[in-house]
Each structure stands twice: as structure tokens, then as C-alpha cells.
Amino acid sequence: MNRSILCLTVLAAASLAGCASSPKPVAGGPSVPTGKCNAEGARWAIGSAVNDDVVNRILQGTGSRDARVLRPGQMATMDFREDRVNVDVNDRGAITGIRCG
């Protein structure tokens, strides 16, 4: 892949990342998440359709401060953040995995 195509691909992915909506806070949930992710608290979500309500419940169940929904082929940073939960989704929008990082 030549350098200009790679640069354009990275710029396009970065532009699209800014369009993602952030989940709304969970009503009645803890006011301050613990911050350290524990994926076991959201295993129930595997197989569910991804939406804002489910992502909010995942945040609450894992104690994470941030959630990242990752779709097939989507570019993502490789940094590890203990306060982030990753929600892997298939091409039909069903959750296939929950992991911290």
C-alpha cells in the first residue's frame, strides 16, 4: 500500500471516530464509576444487540469509565486502559465479546 493511500485511510478513520456517540449516564447508577474494568460483570451482554442502553449497563456492570464499541474491520488504538471496556460487535450488530483495555 503506498504511503498516500495509508495516510488517507488513517485520516478517514480518525474523522469517523469523532462521529461516534457517547453513551448517556445510567439513571440511578453509581455517580462515579470505580474506573477499573472487570469484564465478568457484563458477560450477560454477549449475543445482545448493541445500543446505548446496553452499553450503559455494560459500563455499570464492569465499573468502567469508558466504553468502546468495535465493529469488524474498524481501526482502533492498541493502548491498554484499565478504565475502558471494549465491546466487540459482529456485522449484524450483535455483541460477540466483552474485554477490558
Task: Report all structural domains of the chain as residue ranges with CATH numbers, in order of start.
Answer: 3-100 (3.30.10.10)
**Angstrom distance (rounded) from CA 40 to CA 16:** 30
Q: Map residue 88 onto helix, strand or coil.
A: strand
More confident residue, 77 or 2: 77
Instruction: Give the percent of the chain with pLDDT over 70.
Output: 66
Q: pLDDT (tens digit, 9 = 90+) per residue, 16-60?
A: 444 444 444 444 444 345 689 999 999 999 999 999 999 999 999
- Contact call for residues 35 and 64 (beta carbons, < 8 A): yes
Q: What's the pLDDT score for residue 35?
A: 83
Phi-psi region of 86 (alpha: psi -120 to 50; beta: other; left: phi over 0): beta
Dmax over Cα atoms in the chain, in whole Å? 51
Residues 91, 101: Cα–Cα separation, whole Å: 22
Beta pairing class for 84-89 and 95-100: antiparallel
Query: What residues form DSSP beta bridges with 62?
Result: none
